[in-house]
């Protein structure tokens, strides 16, 4: 099949492929890619490759400390909790002892914002303070600060005062400061954790470690993120890297590709041309690996406790030779953990692991996270279903949930309304089954408000959406307020990068299927594969611990809408409801599409006391109960 045809097919959208892969056994009979029987649990088959120094990496855990508990695939593949992980680490350390090699545990940041365990704290609390107590119980050698530790000053201060001390100098924030008021009421600017750490491994190897943040600009007042190029010129940095260690360990909240790691790498290489450099990156939520030279490796281990990263290095003495590295992306579940530690279910749990799980379950009770709003009848996906559709959480939210939730205690409920909100309003899928407070916080935690303008002709309101989505040309005068990609990236937006990674993965899969000489060949290769990530990185060999077939992924619009109300004519006046997040864009667009009236902030009123984060719970109580 020529590549022209392949790309032509892809242009029609991913769903089209189902009618292309005919099976040949009956006319008109086609295989659905998703209709295969789920295969039985497949454990990994390849043991890990151990080296002289071995690193287990977590990153972007975002509160997912109880793992993924839903039964829809591939969630069970990520079902291990932090207690299981603690047991895994204990056993891996025992194996390292038997092999007489070094093993280090590293985290690359973003401990906040993701589930009820971090975000479901009662009023007066601080996000992540209680969930972080469990991370403190793991034997991390190095942890680096993430941007989600910097959006709210109180969180940063909590990390500085309560978290960093537990790491005893190994919570690293090389280019991130906090401004604090000390006992003498003096304002001081200090690193949130430590700028660097120097320590020796069990085998006596010297390590110089850094914790570098990408050039984040969305941080709160009284926190500072220094540019990476400025950091590497600081006297403290040059002093810290002057003496040659056995390895440099560069942990940091920065993707391993297409960001500023080469700046740090080059600064070290200028002084130490051959010293092994191990980079543990993060932030863009993908699995990735590359080598900046033959004596260095950079690993990034996904997100949300789905992936545990492994890298190892055989540290040869010959400094002119390349180092043999290995890397592996482990799916975070007990089957994986037991396979690699040669344990059985009955011998796997450690007392500390069990205590951590119990503690997390107690926290669920304390935060009332298992409060049941209702039962979801099916899965609703963020990018795993087309928008608009039955299976789209965006459709569910804008077309069903918001109208139900905002009708509650609303004096304007009887006035026809039309709603638009940002497509990024939903953070995670909803799965069939119990829908709890934890699920609500996971899917939709945002505190945006609903506002409205009364008396807008429906026709005018409906012209706004295509303009904001870029589907209609923006009329002259519409201020292109929406930030460019670089600005969004600097402010911490990563969802689009993660989704682009999924899209690449799925596109590669389709192209492979079309290349396969026959459907039989494809099925033979793929029928036993479970759904999950299919990583194609720049390191040698295969990185995924278990081969998977990728999830289908669909594009998302920037702005989504409710169904238009049933009114007499398109000129009927309605309540135009929207999110305060997009208010400036909405006003610009309204003033561009008509000239009868000038819309200003003064026309915008509060529509409901409920915020985005309240909607799904209210809806589930009404409709799924
Ligand atoms: C931050 O903490 C202080 C006291 O510890 C509290 O008074 C303040 O309300 C908190 N701010 C936020 C935004 O939570
Ligand atoms: C600390 O300084 C602030 C302003 O700099 C002042 O308002 C406050 O009264 C001082 N507090 C004490 C205890 O001196
Ligand atoms: C961070 O704080 C230190 C003092 O602890 C100060 O020397 C340094 O200039 C600060 N860095 C930035 C980028 O503000
Ligand atoms: C060493 O690694 C570098 C970078 O990965 C590669 O370009 C080079 O060919 C390797 N050299 C040998 C001798 O394998
Ligand atoms: C593993 O063991 C625990 C008790 O330690 C038990 O509750 C659980 O059902 C077992 N799981 C399997 C898959 O056998
Ligand atoms: C959409 O929902 C309707 C009603 O609940 C159902 O009949 C239909 O089969 C669903 N369609 C899909 C594609 O799931
Ligand atoms: C609606 O208003 C009533 C009466 O003020 C109140 O009791 C109820 O809690 C409100 N409903 C919600 C969902 O807030
Ligand atoms: C798939 O599974 C079947 C039976 O479980 C086995 O015979 C076959 O070799 C497997 N195919 C591949 C490609 O692993
Ligand atoms: C309203 O506008 C839409 C799209 O412009 C059109 O399809 C529809 O027929 C109009 N409806 C009425 C009642 O004018
Ligand atoms: C360990 C585990 O739970 N593996 C599951 C991963 O997901 C597939 C389906 O995609 C299941 O069959 C496995 O049991
Ligand atoms: Zn993150
Ligand atoms: Zn991040």
| Cα–Cα nearest to 66, from 85, 80, 76 | 80
Average pLDDT, the chain: 90
pLDDT at 475: 67
Q: Dihedral through CA 11, CA 12, CA 14, CA 15, nearest 10?
A: 180
Check if 291 has its Cβ closer than 6 Å to any atom of ligand 4.
Answer: yes
How many residues can be counted in the chain?
625
- Is it true that domain 374-482+558-623 has CATH number 3.40.605.10? no
Mean pLDDT of the region 92-101: 98
Largest CA distance in the chain: 83
DSSP characters over 476-518: TT----SPPHHHHHHTT--HHHHHHHHHHHHHHHHHHHHHSS-
pLDDT at 527: 64
pLDDT at 212: 98
Check if 333 has its Cβ closer than 6 Å to any atom of ligand 10.
Answer: yes
Instruction: Return d(Cα 549, Cα 429) in angstroms, integer.
Output: 19
Closest ligand 8 atom to residue 526 Cα is: 13
Instruction: Return d(Cα 534, Cα 540) in angstroms, integer.
Output: 15
Ligand in nearest proximity to the CA of 40:
10
What is the Å distance from ligand 10's center to 75 Cα? Answer: 8
pLDDT of 577 above 50 = yes
Q: Residue 389: is it exposed, middle or buried by C-beta count within 10 angstroms (0-12/13-18/19+)?
A: middle
Both structure tokens of 357: 């799980």
pLDDT of 482 above 60 = no
pLDDT at 316: 79
pLDDT at 522: 59
Which among 274, 294, 320 is the best mutation to test ligand 4's pocket, defined by most ligand atoms within 8 Å of the CB?
A: 294
Same fold for the pair 38-366 and 374-482+558-623: no
Mean pLDDT of the region 38-58: 84
| Cα–Cα nearest to 250, from 236, 238, 262, 233 | 262
Contact 430, 385 (CB under 8 A): no
pLDDT at 317: 78
Closest ligand 10 atom to residue 532 Cα is: 10
pLDDT of 21 above 60 = no
Instruction: Return d(Cα 352, Cα 355) in angstroms, integer.
Output: 5
Check if 528 has its Cβ closer than 6 Å to any atom of ligand 8.
Answer: yes
Mean pLDDT of the region 181-185: 90
| Cα–Cα nearest to 353, from 66, 98, 121 | 66
CATH code given to domain 38-366: 3.60.21.10
Distance of CA 98 to the CA centre of its chain: 35
Instruction: Return d(Cα 566, Cα 100) in angstroms, integer.
Output: 73
pLDDT band for position 455 (cuts 50, 70, 90)? very high
Domain ranges in the chain are 38-366, 374-482+558-623, 495-550
């Amino acid at each position: 099949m020529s590549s022209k045809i392949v790309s032509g097919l892809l242009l029609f959208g991913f769903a089209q492929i189902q009618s292309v892969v005919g099976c040949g056994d009956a006319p008109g009979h086609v295989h659905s890619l998703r209709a295969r029987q789920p295969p039985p649990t497949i454990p990994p088959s390849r043991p890990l490759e151990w080296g002289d120094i071995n690193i287990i990496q977590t990153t972007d855990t975002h509160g997912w400390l109880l793992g993924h508990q839903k039964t829809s695939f591939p969630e069970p593949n990520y079902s291990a909790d932090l207690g299981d992980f603690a047991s895994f680490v204990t056993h891996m350390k025992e194996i390292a002892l038997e092999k007489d090699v070094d093993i280090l545990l590293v985290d690359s940041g973003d401990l906040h914002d993701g589930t009820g365990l971090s975000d479901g704290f009662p009023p007066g609390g601080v996000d992540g303070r209680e969930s972080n107590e469990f991370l403190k119980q793991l034997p991390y050698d190095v942890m680096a600060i993430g941007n989600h530790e910097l959006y709210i000053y109180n969180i940063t201060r909590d990390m500085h005062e309560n978290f960093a001390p537990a790491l005893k100098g190994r919570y690293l924030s090389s280019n991130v400061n906090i401004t604090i008021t000390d006992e003498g009421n003096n304002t001081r600017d200090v690193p949130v954790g430590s700028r660097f750490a120097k320590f020796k491994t069990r085998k006596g190897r010297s390590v110089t470690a850094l914790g570098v943040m990408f050039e984040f600009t969305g941080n709160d007042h009284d926190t500072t993120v220094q540019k990476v190029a400025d950091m590497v010129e600081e006297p403290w940095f040059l002093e810290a890297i002057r003496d040659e260690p056995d390895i440099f360990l560069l942990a940091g909240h920065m993707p391993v590709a297409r960001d500023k790691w080469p700046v740090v790498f080059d600064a070290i290489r200028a002084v130490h041309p051959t010293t092994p450099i191990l980079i543990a990156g993060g932030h863009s939520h993908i699995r990735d690996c590359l080598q900046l030279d033959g004596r260095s490796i950079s690993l990034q281990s996904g997100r949300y406790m789905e992936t545990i990263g492994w890298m190892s290095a055989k540290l040869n003495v010959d400094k002119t030779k390349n180092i043999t590295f290995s890397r592996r992306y482990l799916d975070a579940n007990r089957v994986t953990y037991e396979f690699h530690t040669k344990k059985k279910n009955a011998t796997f749990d450690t007392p500390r692991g069990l205590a951590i799980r119990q503690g997390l379950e107690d926290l669920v009770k304390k935060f009332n996270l298992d409060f049941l709003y209702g039962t979801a009848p099916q899965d609703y996906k963020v990018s795993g279903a087309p928008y608009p559709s039955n299976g789209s959480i965006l459709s569910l939210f804008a077309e069903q949930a918001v109208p139900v939730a905002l009708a509650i205690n609303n004096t304007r409920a009887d006035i026809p309304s039309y709603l638009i909100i940002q497509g990024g309003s939903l953070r995670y899928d909803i799965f069939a089954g119990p829908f709890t407070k934890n699920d609500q916080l996971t899917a939709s935690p945002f505190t945006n408000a609903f506002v409205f303008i009364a008396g807008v002709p429906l026709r005018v309101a409906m012209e706004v959406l295509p303009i904001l989505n870029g589907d209609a040309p923006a009329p002259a005068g519409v201020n292109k307020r929406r930030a460019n990609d670089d600005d969004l990236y600097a402010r911490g937006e990563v969802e689009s990068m993660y989704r682009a990674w999924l899209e690449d993965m799925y596109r590669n899969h389709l192209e492979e299927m079309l290349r396969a000489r026959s459907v039989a060949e494809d099925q033979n290769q793929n029928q036993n594969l479970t759904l999950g990530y299919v990583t194609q990185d720049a390191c040698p060999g295969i990185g995924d611990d278990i081969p998977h077939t990728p999830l289908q992924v669909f594009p998302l619009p920037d702005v989504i809408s409710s169904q238009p109300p049933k009114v007499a004519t398109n000129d009927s006046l309605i309540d135009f409801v929207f999110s305060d997040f997009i208010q400036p864009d909405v006003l610009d667009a309204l003033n561009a599409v008509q000239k009868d009236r000038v819309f200003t902030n003064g026309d915008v009123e509060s529509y409901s006391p409920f915020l985005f984060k309240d909607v799904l719970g209210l809806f589930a109580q009404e409709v799924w109960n």
